């Protein structure tokens, strides 16, 4: 069991540094021992985790996917160790978070209420905005956003790595204008678009098996607030292309209907972003653990 845990630690460290020798030095191991650990994992998984060259290593697609879950598992173990060592002392301190408007209001806010109820000595400050937050300049502890961070120096911890985008509309809109059966039919419909940093997201991409299409959509409404786009869709004003997490409750309640379900929308993984791993405090680890309990991990 202990060797298996060390193998995971070696894999994660190697993925971050891209060099087995430096990992071996940092962990006080021989290069042969670190190489053997990677080989044991690959043999167990039946898949290569790295593409090897004479100078460096880079993750395979399988390795990238596996890394997310290894980091999550190691963080959970570390959180458990910290709780035991602290004698289960009450968490306390201030948390300054930046959240997307739609996800923050409609899904994360109730989860944060539950976290605050469990840890009454925690103080919370929220920034709710879809605009990009400069985590280095603004006084925030962490940012939660969709998509891979543009700054590779940020620490990106997955919250819902397999989340995707969904084409959706209200039953009232469908009753009036009909149901598109193929994304190419969107040109006949009023599409509700989201705008970020003055860029309108009006190219919607879909895949089905080996097919890939990008549809240039048009409509009479554009907003730089994701929650506004969602509200327009529920009101029957048009078709939206939303993160599944944002509309999970609306789909379940029938306020929105998924369209073209045989087509896969764009990936929209959700991440917790920090400027430095040293800022991954027990409080932030506990918050992430709490969110992971309730956030869907796979499209349903």
Q: Hunting for tokens 């060797």 — which residue is that?
A: 3
d(CA 193, CA 47): 40
Tens digit of each residue's pLDDT, the chain (300 residues): 567 888 888 888 888 777 788 788 878 888 888 889 999 999 999 999 988 876 667 888 898 888 888 887 887 777 667 666 554 557 788 888 889 988 998 889 889 998 888 888 999 998 888 776 666 666 778 889 888 776 667 788 899 888 999 999 999 999 999 999 999 999 999 999 999 878 899 999 999 988 999 999 999 999 999 999 999 999 999 999 999 999 988 998 999 999 999 999 999 999 998 887 778 888 888 899 889 888 876 554
Of 164, 168, 194, the residue nearest 180 (C-alpha): 168
Question: How would you label 264-283 residue by residue, b for 16+ Cβ within 10 Å and e otherwise?
Answer: bbbebbbbbbbbeeeebbbb
pLDDT (0 to 100) of residue 86: 53
Q: What angle do CA 70, 297, 11 make, to 5 degrees?
A: 10
Kindly compute the dihedral angle of the four CA atoms of residues 99, 102, 104, 109, in this order, to the nearest 10 degrees.
170
Residue 158 near residue 294 (C-beta atoms within 8 A): no
d(CA 284, CA 277): 11
How many other C-beta atoms are found inside a 10 Å radius of the C-beta of residue 18?
14
Residue 149, SS3 per DSSP = coil
Residue 239, SS3 per DSSP = strand
**Structure token pair of residue 87:** 């004698």
């Amino acid at each position: 069991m202990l060797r298996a845990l060390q193998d995971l630690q070696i894999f994660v460290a190697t993925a971050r540094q891209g060099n087995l020798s430096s990992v071996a030095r940092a962990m006080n191991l021989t290069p042969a021992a670190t190489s053997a650990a990677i080989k044991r994992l690959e043999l167990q998984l039946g898949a290569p985790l790295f593409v090897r060259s004479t100078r460096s290593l880079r993750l395979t697609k399988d390795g990238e996917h596996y890394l997310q879950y290894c980091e999550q598992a190691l963080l959970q173990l570390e959180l458990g160790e910290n709780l035991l060592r602290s004698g289960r002392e009450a968490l306390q301190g201030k948390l300054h978070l930046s959240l997307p408007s739609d996800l923050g209001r409609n899904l994360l806010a109730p989860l944060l209420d539950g976290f605050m109820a469990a840890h009454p000595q925690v103080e919370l400050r929220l920034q709710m905005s879809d605009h990009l937050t400069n985590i280095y300049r603004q006084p925030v502890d962490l940012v939660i956003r969709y998509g891979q961070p543009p700054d590779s120096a940020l620490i990106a911890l997955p919250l819902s790595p397999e989340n995707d985008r969904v084409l959706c509309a209200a039953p009232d809109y469908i009753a009036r204008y009909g149901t598109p059966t193929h994304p190419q039919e969107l040109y006949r419909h009023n599409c509700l678009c989201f705008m970020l940093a003055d860029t309108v997201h009006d190219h919607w991409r879909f895949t089905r098996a080996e097919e890939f299409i990008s549809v240039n959509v048009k409509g009479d409404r554009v907003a730089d607030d994701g929650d506004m786009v969602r509200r327009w869709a529920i009101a029957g004003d048009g078709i939206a292309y939303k993160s599944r997490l944002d509309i999970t409750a609306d789909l379940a309640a029938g306020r929105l209907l998924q369209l073209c379900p045989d087509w896969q929308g764009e990936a929209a993984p959700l991440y917790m972003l920090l400027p430095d791993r040293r800022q991954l405090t027990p409080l932030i680890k506990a918050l992430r653990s709490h969110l992971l309990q309730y956030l869907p991990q796979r499209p349903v």
